[in-house]
């Protein structure tokens, strides 16, 4: 990844790290995530929590589903 892209990733990471502890946690993401436009929420098929869990599952690593992403893990 070139240095320009790394800088964009760093900025995005800092924006998502609401607690400024160097990790993006479930609590950080919950503050930013809005399920109100999710198709399955709108149809009543899923609750807001189910939409959120589905979103989180797309980021967690299969071998270590701890719900935490550290900045150094990205590079």
The pLDDT-based confidence of 1 (bands split at 50, 70, 90) is confident
pLDDT at 55: 87
Please provide residue 35's backbone torsions phi and psi, each rounded to the nearest 5 degrees: -90, 0
- Please report the sign of the dihedral spanned by the C-alpha atoms of residue 53, residue 58, residue 59, residue 64: positive
pLDDT at 57: 81
Has this prediction a pTM greater than 0.85? no
Structure tokens that stand for 34 in this block = 């809005």
Contact residues for 21 (Cβ-Cβ < 8 A; gap 6+): none
In tens, the pLDDT along 10-58 reads 999 999 898 888 888 888 888 889 999 999 999 999 999 999 988 888 7
pLDDT at 74: 57
């Amino acid at each position: 990844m070139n240095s320009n892209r790394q800088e964009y990733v760093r900025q995005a990471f800092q924006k998502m790290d609401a607690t400024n502890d160097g990790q993006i946690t479930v609590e950080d993401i919950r503050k930013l995530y809005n399920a109100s436009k999710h198709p399955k929420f709108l149809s009543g098929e899923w609750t807001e929590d189910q939409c959120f869990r589905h979103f989180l599952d797309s980021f967690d690593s299969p071998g270590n589903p701890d719900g935490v992403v550290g900045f150094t893990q990205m590079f």
